[in-house]
A and B are shown apart, each in its own frame.
Chain A
Amino acid sequence: MSALELLPLVTYGELFPEGITRYAVGGAFIGLGIAVVYLGTAIIAGASTFLETTLSYVSNQSRFQQSRFLASRDWRVVFTAGIVLGAAGYWFLILNPVWEVGFEAAAWQTDVQLWRLLAGGFLVGVGTRLGKGCTSGHGVCGVGSFSQTSIVNVATFVLVAIGTAQVVMAMGVQP
């Protein structure tokens, strides 16, 4: 069977059951946050260096005590606090006004099992630092500036992640 015969079977609704507006608008805001910081400071702000710079407050390991980490650790805390509060503001004030529905109804929690979060988080922590960036640093900023390093990194992690998620799904791990 050719690919052409398969095409009509896959509809927009199947590929995007939630539509695309939420995703594209959210993405534009993410880009806007990066753009505001860049226009004011010429800093390209990724999210994952925060892990290493924050460890520099508590660890004397030479890796964390590099001057580039010490110089950026304070503003990375501020940036991350902004991320948490920005998400909280949209979630609890705009999408689910907490004075109407109450905190318990508004808050959202994942059903993904804790071992997956812990093990996945550990590997993300290793991989993002070894690979010099994450989905925002490489995936948005790096690809957005046509960095070949970032394009290689993103292509690698997207393909590996698809393979991993498919294997996990095939093994029947839910959720």
Chain B
Amino acid sequence: MSDQSPLFMPLIFVGGLLFGVGLAVSHMTHPEVVLAFLQFSDLGLAFVMGGAGVVTMIVIGIASRSGRVAPLTGTPYGRRLKSMDRNVLYGGTIFGVGWGLSGICPGAAYASVGVGNYPILVAIAGMFLGAYAQGYWRSARAADRADVAAGD
């Protein structure tokens, strides 16, 4: 992106800072808090997702109806919806097993490094391995399809 504003990266960084502060304030950096929610001993996580969801709902809702473009990229505001297919269900199921087993998810895991939780690096290594395995499998499958198409 050679034409991007010089403020692009600083703004992304500030957004990341606020995101990380929020994860630390809400103790989402602690897998124990996520597990407590899933085991019904502390339902606070509902308010984390609720609080974040209300803010994004208002901001994305107003901006996407404004008809304006974003100042740093010139991209029109709008909802960018992901397509629905079986992978959404399969992925959600696999993610759910992983989340329920460990209490970690990507953003919270990065933030957890920031609070000095070095055992979380094991979980982050696991996430990269999982993402790699998924990418390897899908690359191989795409190559198979290309072969079949070429054979036709």
Contacts and interface: CB of A to CB of B under 8 A. Distances in A.
Contacts of A140: 49, 52-53, 56
A20 B104 CA distance: 20
Interface string A18-47: 111011111111111111111111111111
Contacts of A59: 132, 135
Q: Mostly helix, strand, loop or mixed at chain B's interface?
A: helix
Interface residues of B, number: 119
A145 B14 CA distance: 22
Contacts of B6: none
Interface string B59-92: 1110110000111110111111111100111111
B150 interface: no
B48 A154 contact: no
B101 A33 contact: no
A83 B8 contact: no
Contact of A78 (B12, B81, B143): B12
A84 interface: yes
A29 B19 CA distance: 6
18 contacts: A18-B42, A24-B51, A28-B54, A31-B54, A35-B55, A38-B70, A42-B63, A48-B105, A87-B113, A88-B115, A119-B102, A126-B94, A127-B92, A140-B56, A153-B89, A156-B89, A160-B100, A165-B38
A109 B100 contact: no
